[in-house]
Structures are given as structure tokens and as C-alpha cells.
Amino acid sequence: MIKKWICTAFLLLPVLAAPVLAQDYPSKPVRLLVPNAPASSIDTMARILSVRLAESLGQNIIVENQAGAGGTLGMDIGKAASPDGYTLILASASSMSSAPLLQKSIRYDPLNDFSFISLFAVLPNVLVVNTALPVNSVKELIVYARANQGKVNFASAGPGSASQLAGVLLTSLGGFESLHVPYKGGSPAVASVIAGETQWYVTPAPNALSLVKGGRLRALAHSLPRRSALLPDMPAIAETLPGYDYSGWAGLIAPRGTPAAVVDKVRAALARALAQPAVREALAAQGAEVTSSTPEEFRAFLQKDIANTAKVVQAAGLKPE
């Protein structure tokens, strides 16, 4: 009888421990793992959030950058962390959707190796063209490219980059050809469009808007599937090409097995942080439109994003390396 009681007690320990852990959580500083370099857009958003999230949770948030291998190094570290809520991970499209399709050495499963908390931002790209190009809309670009085959090229930040995939999706849905010209990073790619070496480029909004305002580039449309308050005067590419949707995104995840009660507590704290006008304004300055989701919605969103990205990777003729 005593042995049976002891066995039952041991079986109940995990069930009892989760509410106790959630009630006391967090009792020490929380690590926010960022698989991106300092001063990157994702890192900047992490630091904006960490201050308000710390206030909301009542505990310090320590941002830790673990850049390398296209974000996969940090994801590996996050995957291996203790699932106790004291390691949170900033997930993005590059590390969760693109990298697993483009790198052979991935050691994590983006759908099954993490506990999902919530999306918090989508980051639209902007289709920009050289100012000498006689086009002012997506439709006009398509017509012009069809009539000038071999003369209309698009730039990217490199093979397999988001800008290449966004460009391939545009040519695929638009039914026109345009030579892909890869550069070593976003800055030289933008410079090539300004100089007329290439004619168009799909780039994160913050990279383009100051140049558009300064008259050095012309913006045609953005990559979100519908109009956005973030870019109120700009149409969506999807208005011309239904189904076009190729934007960045960011969310919070944790190591797989993190107690649901802890996930709920972090998600509630994140919602309180995102409700603050100062946070929304700071994220908007980074080209981010605030959003939210349940853990289940986040996982379903990622599953769809991976499937869509896989189609574009295939259309681009890219293979894992």
C-alpha cells in the first residue's frame, strides 16, 4: 500500500509542479535568446520588447545574441535550453521558415522542437524600382518587363535570401521573366537599383522608405496581403497579383516542454507590452506591424509559411547546401 502511494505521488509530481512553477514564475532573470547579430532589425525589436516585457513580468530580461549560420546557431542553443521558462527565443522567418529549407545541417525541427508563445510582428517588404524606369505600378512593371525581355533585372541580397525569394514569387505570379542578380548583402543590392545596374528589388520597408522619400527610388507596392496602416498610401502587391504574400515576421517561442501555464503567463505579459503606444510606435519605426496570436495559431501560421516558402524555393531552383 505504501509503495503504491509513493508511485502515485511520483506520477503526480509533474502535474503539481507546473502550477507551482507558473505561480512563482519568474523568480529570477529571464534570458531572451536572439539568433541574430546586435543592431540588426530583429535584435532592435528584441530590445524594444525586453524593456516592457520585463516590466510586465516583474523580472529582468537579459537579451543574449547568438548569431551565426543564418540564425540556426541560436536556434540550436535555444532548443537545448531547459524548458523552464527562463529561456525565451525570438523566432523569425529566416530561422524558422527559410533556413530549414536551404541548409542541410539544420539540427532542429521548427514545428516540433519548440513551444509556441505568440507572433508579435509582421515586417512588410517594399517593391522598389529605379527612378528612370517608366513604371508607376506593379501592373506597369509586369507589362514593361514582358515587352523588354532581357533588359529588366532584379537585385537580391544573395542566393537564397528573402529578397531573392520575394522576387521569384513576383515573377512567378506575374508571369514575366527577369534576370536575378545576387549581391553580397542588402546595401549593395539597393545601390545597384539606384545606379540602374538592376531595375527592381523587394526589400524590407525600413531599408527603402528613406530613399523613396529622398527621390532616389520609387516604391510601387508592399508585400503584405492587404493594405496596412504602417504604409497607408501604398497598395499591396496582392491587389494586382492575388495570393502574393512574402513578408518577414517575428514571434516568441521557448524550448519544447515549457509548461503551458508559463507560456500563458509570458503571452499575457507580451500582450500587455504590445498594447502600449510607445512600444507600437517603436516597432513601427523598425517597419514592423504589431500582431498577436495564440500558440496554436502561431504554429499553424508557421506550417503554412514553410509550405509557401518551399514552393518559392523550388521555383527558384534552390537546393539545400
Give the model's confidence band at 11: pLDDT under 50 very low, under 70 low, under 90 confident, else very high: low
Q: pLDDT at residue 222 above 70?
A: yes
Kindly give the residue spans of alpha helices, DSSP state H, lying in 285-321. 295-315
The answer to whether residue 212 sits within a structural domain is yes
pLDDT value of residue 207:
83
DSSP SS3 for 259: coil
Rounded Cα distance, 177 and 199, in Å: 13
Shared domain for 161 and 199, answered yes or no, is: yes
Contacts for 203 with CB less than 8 Å, ≥ 6 apart: 125, 126, 128, 163, 186, 189, 190
Shared domain for 276 and 232, answered yes or no, is: no
Give the model's confidence band at 305: pLDDT under 50 very low, under 70 low, under 90 confident, else very high: very high
* High-pLDDT (> 70) share of the chain, %: 93
Q: How many residues make up the chain in this entry? A: 321
CATH number for 212: 3.40.190.10
User: Tens of pLDDT along 38-72?
Assistant: 988 899 999 999 999 999 999 999 999 999 888 89
Q: Which residue, of 191, 210, 239, is where some domain finishes?
A: 239
Average pLDDT, rounded, for the chain: 92
- Whole-model pTM: value is 0.89
In which domain, by residue range, is 151 found?
125-239
Q: Which residue, of 193, 217, 239, is where some domain finishes?
A: 239
Q: pLDDT at residue 97 above 80?
A: yes
Are 73 and 35 within 8 A, CB to CB? yes
The answer to whether residue 320 sits within a structural domain is no
Number of structural domains in the chain:
2
Quick one: residue 37, left, alpha or beta (phi over 0 = left, psi -120 to 50 = alpha)?
beta
Shared domain for 257 and 234, answered yes or no, is: no
Are 193 and 133 within 8 A, CB to CB? no
Shared domain for 207 and 291, answered yes or no, is: no
Shared domain for 115 and 131, answered yes or no, is: no
Using the structure block, give the residue that is written with the C-alpha cell 535584435: 43
